[in-house]
Structure 1
Amino acid sequence: MLTPAPTTGVLRRWRAGAVSATVLGLAAGAHVAAGGRLPGPFLFTAVAVVVSAVCLLLAGRRLSWPVLSAVLGGGQLALHEVFDACSGPMATVVTSGHHQTLVLSGTADPMTPSPVMTGAHLLATVLAVVALQHGESLVWSLWAWLRPVVRVLLALVRFVRARVVPAPVPVVPRPRAVVARRVRRRGPPRVPALATTF
């Protein structure tokens, strides 16, 4: 069995997990920094499962620079809208004299993010894409290097097993005299000749 390709098994899940964690982390951080609220744990987990499934599907092939850019950039925009829709209304207590009133307000951002914040998030996305692309290249290079090494190791293991296999125990034949004693003749019984008198 050769080293599994990065598009299968554990390596595929690790690659997909790195991308999905980066997408969720950047989107959640940008949303909170822009003044939004994250949804509850149940909804956030459901969103994380969907993002992970999409990343696992994409990890079936080598992730290129354009794919990673689209996933991270588009993921932030899509998750910002999802977080806005799933966070629900925000309760605020307004005090007027001796009276207090509970006011429910939407979760829309109170102000448009500044160009500096937008630029910071854009820079973070680019750096994340560069880091993920570097990691992707490293995984594929390591896999290409390990394939011949694993082949050599497997051939060595087969060779050692062939040398270590114990020789079969020789079967010693029983002495012929013992075998001959136990063998009885088969056939009709001997009948003594009857004497006839005339």
Structure 2
Amino acid sequence: MRASRAPRVARAALAASIATFAALLSHVVAGGALPGPLGIAVPWVLSLAVCTMLAGRRLSLVRLSASVAVSQTLFHVLFVVGAADGLPALGAHAHHSPVVLAAASPSLVPADPAMWLGHAVAAVVTVAVLHRGERTVLALLRAAAGLAAWLRRRLLLLPAVPALAPAGMRRPRDTGAVVVLRPRLGADAVDRRGPPSLVVA
């Protein structure tokens, strides 16, 4: 991957992840069925592809809004198809029971206005978080770089401070002689550590 594509893909992955979370939350809150893991993974991958195609090198509110709107529509359709309520659940002991399909499964019915409103709110929230969030992160990075440069300039201007000894203390002179210190207490005591020696009678 070229260096110029890395920020584009990272921005697209972040947009797809935030859009996935917002779409799934709004879909379930608006009364939709919770899709399975595959019903979440497939829309995320497709959303990543759409967001990567629409993401430019610089952040554009129009491109970001278009990618999030396409992602929300894609999410709704795939969440509805990925919901596992098409077949009735049968017990393990009921292999002889006939399978009865519902005439109109709730997951195949078109969404009501509350569902579309939920996805519209999720799209607006996603665009706001991504648009302002990225600008905030970039502003913080610029501020941190400016602070680091300011500190670097200030530290280079500081004069070298010599190490000073506290008042009243003299530094010892290096005579080259080795000084052996003797303990004050028990200097004549013999150190007998270890197991007792065997006494032979």
TM-score norm. by structure 2 comes to 0.51
The answer (yes or no) to whether the contact 2:47–2:74 under 8 Å persists in 1 is no
Matched, 1:35 2:32: yes
Partner of 1:24: 20
Matched, 1:134 2:129: no
Which one of the candidate residues 88, 95, 100 is aligned to 1:92? 88
Q: As a proportion of its length, which structure holds more strand?
A: 1
The answer (yes or no) to whether the contact 2:26–2:122 under 8 Å persists in 1 is no
Q: Kindly state the Cα deviation for residue 127 of structure 1 after the two structures are TM-superposed.
A: 2.7
Q: As a proportion of its length, which structure holds more helix?
A: 1
Q: Kindly state the Cα deviation for residue 75 of structure 1 after the two structures are TM-superposed.
A: 0.6
Distance 1:49 1:87 in 2: 17
Partner of 1:68: 64
Runs of 4 or more off by more than 6 Å in structure 1?
153-157
Which one of the candidate residues 144, 147, 158 is aligned to 1:146? 144
In structure 2, the CA distance between the partners of 1:135 and 1:150, relative to structure 1 (3 Å rule), is: same
The answer (yes or no) to whether the contact 1:73–1:125 under 8 Å persists in 2 is yes
The amino acid of 1:131's aligned partner reads V
In structure 2, the CA distance between the partners of 1:102 and 1:35, relative to structure 1 (3 Å rule), is: farther
> CA RMSD, aligned part only?
4.1
Distance 1:51 1:131 in 2: 17
In structure 2, the CA distance between the partners of 1:42 and 1:117, relative to structure 1 (3 Å rule), is: closer
In structure 2, the CA distance between the partners of 1:155 and 1:47, relative to structure 1 (3 Å rule), is: farther
Partner of 1:118: 116
The answer (yes or no) to whether the contact 1:43–1:86 under 8 Å persists in 2 is yes
Structure 1: stretches of 5+ with no match in the other structure = 164-198
The answer (yes or no) to whether the contact 1:89–1:104 under 8 Å persists in 2 is no
Distance 1:29 1:62 in 2: 29
TM-score norm. by structure 1 comes to 0.52
In structure 2, the CA distance between the partners of 1:69 and 1:109, relative to structure 1 (3 Å rule), is: same
Deviation readout 1:118-171 (Å, 9 max, x if unpaired): 3343233223322222111112222333344445667889x7xxx9xxxxxxxx
Distance 1:19 1:87 in 2: 23
Larger Rg: 1
* Identical residues among aligned pairs (%): 29
